[in-house]
Amino acid sequence: MEVIINGVTYVSIEEMEGQVACDVVSFLREWYNDSNYVQGHTSGSTGVPKAIALLKQDMRASARLTNTFLGIDSSATLLLCLSPAYIAGKMMIVRALEAHAELVVVEPSSMPLQDVKQPITLAAMVPMQVATTLQSDNGEEQLAWVKQLLVGGAPISTTLEQRLMQLATHTYVTYGMTETVSHIALRAVGARQYVALGDVSFAVDNRNCLVIDAPQLSRRHFVTNDVVSLIDSRHFEWLGRYDNIINSGGLKFCAEDLERKISAILPHRYYITSCADELLGQRIVLVIESQAYSDAEMSRLKDQLSGCLSRYEMPREIRFVERFEETYSGKIKRIL
């Protein structure tokens, strides 16, 4: 594997120089040591990030699944623009190692393609990086360098997905977690269903939450908190998190489903959550990342919401927050 950092090609980790190389060198030294494990951390989307030991043979198996699905071989060029401190960055390095492919490394930033001037077979980004790139004057031109793009780590907005559907880049939304050693299913932008990689298969439990069977991994069975519509053992539609089900007045609402329904009317970032209510048990709360709206703006917003939501789906309360708290990957922490 050749590694290109700031335009300089390296074939030995001892030669690598520069700040951006430090994390890559640190990972490679760990990868080639005598341990069977690599140390990692969960994303922290459901609490404090936890240390986790990742089995190297599982990482190799996961890399081979993705490489096979996307046709990555020794002729490919992979872009690393995420920190190797987290699973997405680690796995891009492992994919390059397994395929004997070229790896181009850039400093993780909100504009990872601004200095990339060569064709990229595969890149992986969080939604914030993709959105910021497309907001720039030559964003579409930058993304044209990328043949295949994986987007994950945080939910992708309807607006961003529609924009990506218009581009020549083949973009996939990923489904997975640190515990499954990166993604185990992909969804092409514009499609509703996730498709399993390799021999991975799916079922649901009594909560309609996804249950994963991943025979390529040492721990092959995973029970998630993701509510899904199971199409068959290889395909599902993601509906939302079981943690985000709101029981209001005896009716159950999925926060992510409500968010999708109002995605076209809010110019700011937002999320749906709930708080305790003596009468209803829980009441639906809309939280918006913005200065508080004026009376006229609030009146207009409520009219727009009533056009998208039923009477029982309407937020009973609207709150404003100057800036949302986020995980490293850009997931919004749903806190009141």
- Ordered by where they begin, the domains of the chain are 3-194 (3.40.50.12780), 249-321 (3.30.300.30)
The reported pLDDT for the residue numbered 21 is 81
Residue 53 buriedness (CB in 10 A; 0-12 / 13-18 / 19+): exposed
The band of 30, judged by pLDDT with boundaries at 50, 70 and 90, is: very high
The reported pLDDT for the residue numbered 41 is 77
Average pLDDT over residues 79-91: 93
Q: Which of 124 and 159 is assigned the larger pLDDT?
A: 124
Residue 318 contacts residue 298 (beta carbons within 8 Å): yes
Rounded to whole angstroms, what are the CA distances from 304 to 58, 63, 156?
A: 48, 45, 22
Residue among 210, 89, 98 at smallest CA distance from 150: 89
The band of 20, judged by pLDDT with boundaries at 50, 70 and 90, is: confident
3-state helix, strand, coil in the chain (%, to 5): 30, 35, 40
DSSP secondary structure letters along 99-131: HT-EEEE----S-TTTT--S-EEEEEE-HHHHH
DSSP assignment letter at 155: P
Average pLDDT over residues 166-181: 95
The reported pLDDT for the residue numbered 132 is 95
φ, ψ (nearest 5 deg) of residue 122: -150, 130
Q: Which of 22 and 234 is assigned the larger pLDDT?
A: 234
The reported pLDDT for the residue numbered 139 is 95
Residue with tokens 């520069």: 18
For residue range 220-248, list pLDDT tens digits in order.
999 999 999 999 999 999 999 999 999 99
Average pLDDT over residues 61-81: 97
Average pLDDT over residues 190-207: 97
User: At residue 47, does pLDDT exceed 60?
Assistant: no
Across the chain, what does the average pLDDT equal?
93
The reported pLDDT for the residue numbered 12 is 73
Percentage of the chain exceeding pLDDT 90: 79
For residue range 103-150, list pLDDT tens digits in order.
999 989 999 999 898 999 999 999 999 999 999 999 999 999 999 999
- The model carries a pTM of 0.89
The reported pLDDT for the residue numbered 286 is 98
The reported pLDDT for the residue numbered 115 is 87
Average pLDDT over residues 293-298: 97
Rounded to whole angstroms, what are the CA distances from 205 to 175, 223, 273?
A: 18, 8, 24
User: At residue 17, does pLDDT exceed 80?
Assistant: no
The residue length of the chain stands at: 336
The reported pLDDT for the residue numbered 48 is 61
Write the CB contacts of 197 (distance below 8 Å, at least 6 apart in sequence): 65, 66, 69, 183, 184, 185, 186
Residue with tokens 């708080």: 275
Residue 173 contacts residue 152 (beta carbons within 8 Å): yes
The continuous run of DSSP H or E covering 39 comes out as strand 37-41
